[in-house]
């Protein structure tokens, strides 16, 4: 071990060493099959002790120099920035970097920072960037224009403070106001402008398809599948034989249903349920056997791992797997024989799980339901005799009964359940936003959510018992400091939490706040107290769900972590007492990749939604609307419209004519010095649209009492409609805005949290 330690350190410390993947390092060091495990253990020990460093790109770096720290840069309007540290230094989680000490780093870059002796107010450490470890982006999207016989591009967003020069006018056939993709040849610094070249012209700014392409390129989303991947998918389609059930249990005679959005195109989960004479429940959760069509190590597998998630953009989906599989072979379509991995769980009369088994099956879905079809049948089964067969109606009734039992047990055990309003955007035939409507989530959504959670917990528990490293879905406990601040905030509204670290106490508070004028304020503040859920092999549990062992198993069509878990379940089904242990550091690295791509997908979705909403608001300058305060900072308040969910800011400078406002971070509010008026997180206020800048993603509000321009009532909200999907996992701290779907449907994200 020591020999490998020394050889690795010596190799990565050489002046000519360029960071490389562990496999490349092993090859250079002559590691053999017999010594590969020793090498991996030695490398992991070096990483654990800081004698080597793993970059976010999965490459091995030499250890950081003394006094240096690593983190991600976030710039602010002044040009200065803060580096959010990967490893906090005591109570310090960020380092301030002045614009002149930033080199050519851009917001989002992973950087190496050397600390200086300077301190800012509050004791914040200061530093200077000495190395860019990983660029957040290598290409950028912006709007082309010409100035002084030069082609220029104004990059979207607020990362670039000045336009980028792209050489002679008309490069690549670009015309003024075209959206273009730019690759930088010189990054901007404090004293030097950026230069770049146009690599692609997307089309006229403002066109919906151009906005879509701009988002794809801005976030580097893998879009079209490589030809060899598509070829492999078609080979799988040709080889599929629905009549060849060798090695599978034939469950095609069982009564099995799917419940999905009305316009869903792919179906990866189905349910069966029986009740035995002793009153026990026998639940079958049947999940599309995607692993059957994606051989490990194949090009299909490589591409799925690279993407690691399907990306759900407004009116468009970028699938993780070619659609011949995701929408065809693996999709559990009604009346068609499909291959599945089935988890069968036996529950007592009281909903306590007593046994679990795993099976490779062939199923035939008896009936496909949309969410809005289910509860009318459950409430009045006799009224639907002509539309649903008796076994199907009986199945739905049993499903509802068991799901509500399981849900009650979860809440009693301390699971956090926050009811957040959901807004659905309405589009015209040109894919432009024309309004919005609110939705309701009935028990049909909860039925599926409970059964998916039960399957995920069952699989994670089995793998934990077998001591197999696997990708868990973890949600770490919030810090006591944040929970204490939340308790102090709730106390301002008369809600007392004696045990603020107790999930039961938090859930009790959420229930007490329902219908209260402070409900939104309480929910917003609690969400901001939570950490993000992520993928990792560490067994820290899932705080929001209140369980120790949890993973994602139920959506392998759209999530790569689920596919990796399916492969482990395959080995359990095959009766292998010992499952080949995958190196835990490799699992951790895969978890970081999947967590990163998941967040990238969410950022891309939010960005395109914001663009569409901003284009809608651009024609409404001067309109007034009701809004909720969603954030309070020393520079102003963030507000989100209640009828139209566009988020903008009332800058502190726009409040100067009303009063001098001071920031009270502990109470999440701005307070007027003379008027004592408070602008508090969660408050409903009336705002007016002051300005819109689509390219910079900026929407500025002001308060109506600051002036009296003509006001047009802006609603755009339709009557309530039935939602086509359940809310996202409340534990992740995200609120969903659902879109009308044109292509492949978005799958409900709460199916497995």
Structure token digits, residue 115: 């600390």
Reported as a pLDDT band with limits 50, 70 and 90, residue 129 is: very high
Q: Which of 704, 586, 449, 709 is nearest to 23 (CA)?
A: 586
DSSP for 94-143, please give it.
Answer: EEEE-GGG-TT--TT-EEEEEEEEEE-GGG-EEEEEEEEEE-S-SEEEEE
Strands laid side by side in the 433-440 sheet: 717-722, 433-440, 423-427, 737-738
What is the per-residue pLDDT across 178-230, written as a single tens digit (0 to 9) for each? 999 999 999 998 888 899 999 999 999 999 999 999 999 999 999 999 999 99
Reported as a pLDDT band with limits 50, 70 and 90, residue 714 is: very low
CA dist 283 to 106, 115, 330, 405, 639, Å? 51, 57, 21, 13, 44
Structure token digits, residue 249: 């249990």
Tell me what pLDDT residue 110 has.
87
For residue 260, pLDDT beyond 70: yes
Q: 730 or 315: which carries more pLDDT confidence?
A: 315
- How far apart CA 83 and CA 93 sit, in angstroms, is 8
What is the per-residue pLDDT across 464-474, written as a single tens digit (0 to 9) for each? 999 989 999 99
Reported as a pLDDT band with limits 50, 70 and 90, residue 732 is: very low
Tell me what pLDDT residue 145 has.
96
CATH code linked to domain 139-218: 2.40.50.700
Location of structure tokens 């953009």:
313
Location of structure tokens 């020591």:
2
Compute the average pLDDT of residues 562-567.
97
Tell me what pLDDT residue 733 has.
35
What is the per-residue pLDDT across 383-394, written as a single tens digit (0 to 9) for each? 999 999 999 999
- How far apart CA 154 and CA 172 sit, in angstroms, is 16
For residue 743, pLDDT beyond 50: no
Tell me what pLDDT residue 708 has.
53
Q: Which of 469, 472, 444 is nearest to 545 (CA)?
A: 472
- How far apart CA 709 and CA 639 sit, in angstroms, is 20
Q: 79 or 456: which carries more pLDDT confidence?
A: 456
Location of structure tokens 């769900």:
545
**According to the CATH classification, is domain 606-738 in 2.30.30.90?**
no
pLDDT mean across residues, the chain: 87
Compute the average pLDDT of residues 292-316.
95
Reported as a pLDDT band with limits 50, 70 and 90, residue 15 is: confident
Compute the average pLDDT of residues 670-674.
93
Percent of the chain with pLDDT over 70: 91
What is the per-residue pLDDT across 337-383, written as a single tens digit (0 to 9) for each? 999 999 999 999 999 999 999 999 999 999 999 999 999 999 999 99
Q: What share of the chain is helix, strand, coil (3-state, %, to 5)?
A: 30, 30, 40
For residue 723, pLDDT beyond 60: no
Residues for the chain: how many in total? Answer: 753
Number of other CB atoms surrounding residue 56 within 10 Å:
15
For residue 423, pLDDT beyond 70: yes
What is the per-residue pLDDT across 504-526, written as a single tens digit (0 to 9) for each? 889 889 888 888 877 878 888 88
Structure token digits, residue 280: 């026990």
Lowest mean pLDDT among 18-22, 616-620, 698-702: 18-22
User: What phi and psi values does residue 6 have, to the nearest 5 degrees?
Assistant: -65, -40
CA dist 112 to 61, 65, 84, 102, 409, Å? 12, 9, 11, 11, 47
- How far apart CA 107 and CA 133 sit, in angstroms, is 13
Shared fold status for 2-61 and 68-134? no
User: What phi and psi values does residue 141 have, to the nearest 5 degrees?
Assistant: -115, 140
Mention every residue, 6+ apart, whose C-beta is less than 8 A from residue 386.
Answer: none
Tell me what pLDDT residue 552 has.
98
Percent of the chain with pLDDT over 90: 58
Q: Which of 345, 347, 340 is nearest to 267 (CA)?
A: 340
Compute the average pLDDT of residues 59-72.
78
Tell me what pLDDT residue 91 has.
74
CA dist 248 to 238, 341, 573, 578, Å? 20, 9, 10, 22
Tell me what pLDDT residue 443 has.
92
For residue 560, pLDDT beyond 90: yes
Strands laid side by side in the 367-370 sheet: 249-251, 353-364, 337-347, 281-288, 269-275, 257-260, 367-370
Tell me what pLDDT residue 662 has.
94
- How far apart CA 136 and CA 220 sit, in angstroms, is 10
Superfamily of domain 68-134: Nucleic acid-binding proteins (2.40.50.140)
Location of structure tokens 């868990």:
472
DSSP three-state, residue 181: strand
Tell me what pLDDT residue 752 has.
53
For residue 38, pLDDT beyond 60: yes
CA atoms within 13 A on the CB side of 611: 23
Mention every residue, 6+ apart, whose C-beta is less than 8 A from residue 718.
Answer: 426, 435, 436, 437
Multiple choice CATH, 2-61, 1.10.10.10, 3.40.50.10240, 3.90.550.10, 1.10.3720.10: 1.10.10.10
Tell me what pLDDT residue 222 has.
94
Reported as a pLDDT band with limits 50, 70 and 90, residue 599 is: very high
Tell me what pLDDT residue 751 has.
59
Structure token digits, residue 592: 């970081």
Q: Are 61 and 19 in contact (CB under 8 A)?
A: yes
List the domain boundaries for the chain. Answer: 2-61, 68-134, 139-218, 227-427+440-466, 478-530, 606-738
Tell me what pLDDT residue 753 has.
65
């Amino acid at each position: 071990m020591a020999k490998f330690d020394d050889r690795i350190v010596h190799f990565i410390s050489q002046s000519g060493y360029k960071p490389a993947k562990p496999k490349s390092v092993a090859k250079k060091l002559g590691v053999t099959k017999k010594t590969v495990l020793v090498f991996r253990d030695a490398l992991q020990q070096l990483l654990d002790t800081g004698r080597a460093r793993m970059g976010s790109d999965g490459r091995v770096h030499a250890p950081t120099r003394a006094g240096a720290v690593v983190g991600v840069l976030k710039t602010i309007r002044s040009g200065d920035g803060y580096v959010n540290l990967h490893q906090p230094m005591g109570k310090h989680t960020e380092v301030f970097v002045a614009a002149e000490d930033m080199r050519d780093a851009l917001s989002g870059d992973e950087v190496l920072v050397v600390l200086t002796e300077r301190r800012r107010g509050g004791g914040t450490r200061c530093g200077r960037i000495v190395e860019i470890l990983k660029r957040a982006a290598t290409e950028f999207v912006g709007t082309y224009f010409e100035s002084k016989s030069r082609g220029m591009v104004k990059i979207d967003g607020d990362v670039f403070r000045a336009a980028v020069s792209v050489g002679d006018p008309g490069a690549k056939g670009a015309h003024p106001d075209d959206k273009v993709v730019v690759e930088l040849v010189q990054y901007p610094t404090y004293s030097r402008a950026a230069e770049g070249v146009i690599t692609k012209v997307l089309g006229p700014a403002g066109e919906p398809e151009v906005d879509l392409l701009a988002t794809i390129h801005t976030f580097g989303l893998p879009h079209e599948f490589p030809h060899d991947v598509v070829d492999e998918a078609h080979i799988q389609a040709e080889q599929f034989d629905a009549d060849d059930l060798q090695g599978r249990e034939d469950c095609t005679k069982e009564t099995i249903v799917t419940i999905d959005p009305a316009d869903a195109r792919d179906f990866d989960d189905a349910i069966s349920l029986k009740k035995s004479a002793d009153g026990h429940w026998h639940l079958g959760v049947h999940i599309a056997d995607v692993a059957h069509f994606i051989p490990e190590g194949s090009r299909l597998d490589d591409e799925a791992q690279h993407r690691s998630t399907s990306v759900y953009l407004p009116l468009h989906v970028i699938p993780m797997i070619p659609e011949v599989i995701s929408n065809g072979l693996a999709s559990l379509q009604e009346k068609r024989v499909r291959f599945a991995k089935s988890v069968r769980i036996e529950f007592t009369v009281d909903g306590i799980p007593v046994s679990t088994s795993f099976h490779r099956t062939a199923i035939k879905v008896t009936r496909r339901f949309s969410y809005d079809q289910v509860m009318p049948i459950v409430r009045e089964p006799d009224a639907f005799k002509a539309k649903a067969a008796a076994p199907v109606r009986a199945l739905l009734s049993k499903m509802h009964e068991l799901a509500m039992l399981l849900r009650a047990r979860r809440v009693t055990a301390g699971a956090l359940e926050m009811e957040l309003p959901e807004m659905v955007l309405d589009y015209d035939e040109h894919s432009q936003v024309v309004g919005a409507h609110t939705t309701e989530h009935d028990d049909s959504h909860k039925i599926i959510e409970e059964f998916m959670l039960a399957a995920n917990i069952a699989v994670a528990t089995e793998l934990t018992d077998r001591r197999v490293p696997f990708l868990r879905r973890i949600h770490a406990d919030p810090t006591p400091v944040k929970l204490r601040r939340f308790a102090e905030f709730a106390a301002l509204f008369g809600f007392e939490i004696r045990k603020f670290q107790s999930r039961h106490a938090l859930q009790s508070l959420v229930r007490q706040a329902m219908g209260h004028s402070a409900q939104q304020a309480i929910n917003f503040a609690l969400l901001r107290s939570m950490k993000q859920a992520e993928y990792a092999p560490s067994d820290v549990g899932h705080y929001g769900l209140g369980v120790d062992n949890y993973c994602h198993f139920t959506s392998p069509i759209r999530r790569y972590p689920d596919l990796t878990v399916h492969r482990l379940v395959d080995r359990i089904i095959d009766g292998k007492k010992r499952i080949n242990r995958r190196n835990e550091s490799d699992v951790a690295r895969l978890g970081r990749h999947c967590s990163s791509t998941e967040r990238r997908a969410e950022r891309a979705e939010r960005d395109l939604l914001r663009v569409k909403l901003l284009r809608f608001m651009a024609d409404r300058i001067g309109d007034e609307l009701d809004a909720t305060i969603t954030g309070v900072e020393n520079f102003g308040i963030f507000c989100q419209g209640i009828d139209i969910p566009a988020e903008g800011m009332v800058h502190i400078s726009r409040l100067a004519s009303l009063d001098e406002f001071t920031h009270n971070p502990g109470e999440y509010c701005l307070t007027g010095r003379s008027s004592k008026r408070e602008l508090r997180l969660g408050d409903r206020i009336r705002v007016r649209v002051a300005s819109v800048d689509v390219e910079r993603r900026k929407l500025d509000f002001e308060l109506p009492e600051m002036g009296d321009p003509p006001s047009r009532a802006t609603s755009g909200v339709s009557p309530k409609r039935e939602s086509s999907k359940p809310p996202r996992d409340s534990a992740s701290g995200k609120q969903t805005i659902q879109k009308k779907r044109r292509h492949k449907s978005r799958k409900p994200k709460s199916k497995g949290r």
